[in-house]
Amino acid sequence: QVQLVESGGGLVQAGGSLRLSCAASGTIFSINTMRWYRQAPGKQRELVARIRSGGNTNYADSVKGRFMISRDNAKNTMFLQMNRLKPEDTAVYYCNADVNGGTYWGQGTQVTVSS
């Protein structure tokens, strides 16, 4: 009914940048908070950033000052601008959103940062 699809992942050298996108589609009545999570092999999935419908944002300490979350409500799309990437940023990045009173996940996109 609701689908979230991430794009923009890839391989980048330390210090580089990537921009991730998450597009929501399907039968959508409302989207409230949207979030980016990431999970490295053998580690817990962690919240990277979140953005409320009105634009309020929060970031994990590990990415604060380097990543920026944004959204285009008219297009039901969320973005994550990742700058000054570090090897420890390597993970699968997942889109998460509260849609129509429920919570949905994307399939994930791989981000690999080489040293």
Per-residue confidence at 1, pLDDT binned at 50, 70, 90? confident
Contact by Cβ (8 Å): 100, 27: yes
pLDDT tens, 32-85? Answer: 999 999 999 999 999 999 999 999 999 999 999 999 999 999 999 999 999 999
Q: Cα(51)–Cα(32) distance, rounded to whole angstroms?
A: 9
Per-residue confidence at 89, pLDDT binned at 50, 70, 90? very high
Half-sphere CA count of 40, side-chain side, radius 13 A: 8
Per-residue confidence at 112, pLDDT binned at 50, 70, 90? very high
C-alpha to C-alpha distances, 3 to 28, 48, 98, 105, 106, nearest whole angstrom: 10, 20, 12, 8, 7
DSSP class of 74: G
What pLDDT sits at residue 45? Answer: 98
pLDDT tens, 9-43? Answer: 999 999 999 999 999 999 999 999 999 999 999 99
Task: Tell me the average pLDDT across 98-103.
Answer: 97
Per-residue confidence at 107, pLDDT binned at 50, 70, 90? very high
